[in-house]
Structure 1
Amino acid sequence: MDDTLPVFPLGSVLFPFMPLQLRLFEERYLVMLSKVLESEPSEFGVVLIERGQEVGGGEQRFTVGTLAQIAQLEAPEGYVVLVAVGTRRFVIDEWMPDNPYPEARASLLPPLEWDESLAPLREEAEVVVRRVLTLAASLGEEEWPADLQLSEDPSAASWQLAGIAPVGPLDQIALLRSNSLKNLLTSVISMTRDVEETYRTLWPGDGEPDGAAGPAADDGL
């Protein structure tokens, strides 16, 4: 990337092909938004905060992130609501002084290539993720609905499965660093099954709660 990249540190990980909604009210990020909107496409980087808070600055940040392309803006009184979509991954080469928002020199990571031999692995990942999302919802831990529609593009759907898998932020960072779609899908399956095992130790019954069994891979969800 030739120019410095405006960066928004967040308490969550953005994946390619996943939506992001932000409510901007800090002056430094309103300044950043004005700068971002000068270019087309209007993009900024999103990285996970390693230590610190989203508000006020001074946080420590991970060095791998995802570009967010702005798709929609609304400006109620006193703040701005922004909707964006994750596109390409990047790594931070050098953090620049805040101006007043975070900026960095960054390099884009190559897209991960899809191969049809990965189709069974992608289907398995979908079954596992949907099953555990259903279980999570039964325990009051729902973040994404188990019947969320995925992209018809298998590469995009693979990233979306990583984005909705009910795993923690450090696992999400590991997924974002994947160097192949095979590695990504294998890790999604393994990490999600670990979460499933944890959930089941929290469930007092011997069997599954109603609806805990995930839909089959050919349900068209």
Structure 2
Amino acid sequence: MAATAMFPLETVLFPYTPLALRVFEERYLKMLGAALESHQPSFGVVLIERGSEAGGGDTRFHTGTMARIVEVAATERDIELLVVGGERIEVGAWWNDEAYPTAEVHTIAELTWDPALAPLRAEAEKHVRRVLTRAALSSGSRWDPNIEISDDPLESSWQLAAIAPLGPIDQLELLRSSSLAGLLARLIDLTLEAEQILTATFDGGRDDGEPGLTA
């Protein structure tokens, strides 16, 4: 089995979701050069468990996503990429970090859509957008609460997981989902937990008579 180029990040990449990256470290510039020589330029993305993106020596989780390169732009100091998440992967073994990280990976089966899940998906979107709006007002957010998502129910389910205001460990749990029903149900639970934290952090302990934030 051929080695797959890997890019460990402090970010979880979800299927069908875009991610902007800035490449400046020599080993990842080499990785990018090799990837761009292939017919379908891509590399694997996994979440860093301990350590940082730069410098090496990090410990990584084994569940990740293939990143398909869709845009490349060079600046004076680095290369800017836009990738889109593809199939989910599981790292079987890390091979070599000498030039850049490589691994043996196996594809995780795609989740399947069932029309009976439509009410659950709609409920998930309602909660995610509401709590995302609250997060944007209180602490800022990477995603616009009104961002458009795919009309495809499977794709949009993953995109809702991506835009929900959750931490990377919660996101990794969602990425590991074994069913779409499980993904959507857990997404709702985690989003409501995040809302409780936002309420406690930004609405709790007020003694100035001012109303708290509202969605």
Q: How does 1:1-221 map to 2 (within 5 A)?
A: 2-202=1-201, 203-204=203-204, 209-210=213-214, 212=215
Percent identity among equivalent residues?
A: 47
Amino acid at match of 1:209: L
For 2:169 and 2:163, the matched residues in 1 are separated by 14
Root mean square deviation, CA, Å:
1.3
For 1:99 and 1:128, the matched residues in 2 are separated by 44
CA drift at 1:98: 1.0
CA drift at 1:21: 1.0
Q: Deviations over 1:174-218 (max 9, x none)?
A: 1000001100000100000000011111214686525x1xxxxxx
For 1:155 and 1:207, the matched residues in 2 are separated by 39
Stretches of 4+ aligned residues off by more than 3 angstroms: 204-208
For 1:128 and 1:27, the matched residues in 2 are separated by 42
CA drift at 1:142: 1.9
CA drift at 1:143: 2.1
For 1:208 and 1:93, the matched residues in 2 are separated by 48
* Residue ranges of structure 2 left out of the alignment (5+ in a row): none
Q: Deviations over 1:58-97 (max 9, x none)?
A: 1000000000000000011121111110010000001002
For 2:150 and 2:98, the matched residues in 1 are separated by 37
Q: Deviations over 1:132-157 (max 9, x none)?
A: 01111121232211101010000000
**Residue 45 of structure 1 aligns to a residue in which SS?**
strand
Query: How many residues of Structure 1 are paired with residues of Structure 2 in the alignment?
Result: 210
Q: Could you tell which deviates more after superposition, 85-94 or 197-206?
A: 197-206
TM-score (norm 1): 0.92
CA drift at 1:166: 0.7
Amino acid at match of 2:16: F
For 2:11 and 2:75, the matched residues in 1 are separated by 24
